[in-house]
Amino acid sequence: MKNLSTFSKVMVGFIAGAFVAGSVAVAVTPDLPPTKVCVDNRTKALYSATNGSCTKTRTLMEVAGSGVNVESIAAAVSPSVVSIAVSAAAGSGSGSGVIYRTSASSSFIITNNHVIESAATAGSVRVELNNGDYEKATIVGRDSTYDIAVLRIERGNLKAITVGDSNRLAIGEPVVAFGSPLGLSGTVTSGIVSALNRPVTAGSFGAESFIDAIQTDAAINPGNSGGPLVDGTGALVGINSAIATLSSGTSGSIGLGFSIPINQAKRVVDEIIATGKSSRPFLGVNFDTSYTGLGAKVLRLVAGEAAEKAGIPAGAVIREIEGKKINDLITAIVRVRSFAPGESIKVTVDMPGGGSKTFLVVLGKADSQ
């Protein structure tokens, strides 16, 4: 596991599963009257709406006082949520998933790569549907760099979840998490979006996943991995992937859960369904891992790739990507991977000889692991 760059005494790790006798646990919050708030167009922070209106730099939004009608969302979303059990020589475990696409004869399910990777070469994956039925699942494809995997079951006409827009989330907005923490299928918890674009890295050295994460205080625990995070309309906005724990090793939710934004995950999922594999954007640089200053220092360039084509020199220190500050190489990697191959991004650097310069970079494409 890696230390999360924004926490001095907190560690972030994948949410490992555990087998527990099946039961149902639903945590809901009482409904309160709707409240009108203003969302800052730049920071996405929430502010109270004066006389029901907002300034030109903020957008009016209506939310429930405690969040949302969790009971209604639970009823609508739960049929799309599944529990996943993995059995393999490399280890057994459990997690969660969400039905993404369905036809008359089969269905595709999104989960985390770390939930099913022990069965990637040998082993079995079994899915429990919301109604208690079991189905054998096959792994369509997986991407360890984004911690995304896609399963297929030979069962059709299931209820696929409605896909939302994670780019429209606001800090303070209510969200609801679904999954099977500690094997307790059918668990629902509610909270808010605590932060956006949180750079998170998790996994073992050399096999890390980099996530431009949604941070939430909705209770997420071991076994929630791969389950959906939905907004106030019940639309999918994230895939629950990691939790932060105290450096003492204390496990369980401390109000610091992280989800992969669905806008980022959807591209990977669609590629896997179409081709069995996925790609990632490629900046074409090697970072200086010994650099301790602010930013991400370019040690060398990959010949013929995006950074060199744009004119970024070796020795430059990346300080901003698309207007977001870059304080270290983890943040730089996460920011780059939040885009798609072929997208154009503005990269601002401190030049080796002094001064600052902004480059327009067309991201390349590389196969994901």
Buried b (16+ CB within 10 A) or exposed e, 288-321: beeeeeebbbbeebeeebbbbebebeeebbbbbb
Chain centre distance of CA 54: 30
Q: How many CA atoms lie within 13 A of 331 on its CB side?
A: 21
Bridge partners, residue 242, by sequence: 14, 258
The catalytically annotated residue of 118, 144, 225, 338 is 225
Q: Are strands 93-102 and 81-87 parallel, antiparallel or unpaired?
A: antiparallel
- Token pair, residue 114, equals 């770390």
188-198 b/e (C-beta count within 10 Å ≥ 16 → b): bbbbbbbebeb
What backbone phi and psi angles, to 5 degrees, belong to 156? -110, 180
Is 147 tagged catalytic? yes
Buried/exposed code over 15-50 (b: 16+ C-beta within 10 A; e: otherwise): bbbeeeeeeeeeebbeeeeeeebbbbeeebebeebe
Q: Which of 143, 147, 212, 350 is catalytic?
A: 147
What percent of the chain is helix, strand and coil (3-state, nearest 5)? Answer: 15, 45, 45
Is 259 a known active-site residue? Answer: no
Of 114, 180, 209, 338, which is the active-site residue? 114
* 114 annotated active-site: yes
For the annotated catalytic residues, the residue numbers are 114, 147, 225
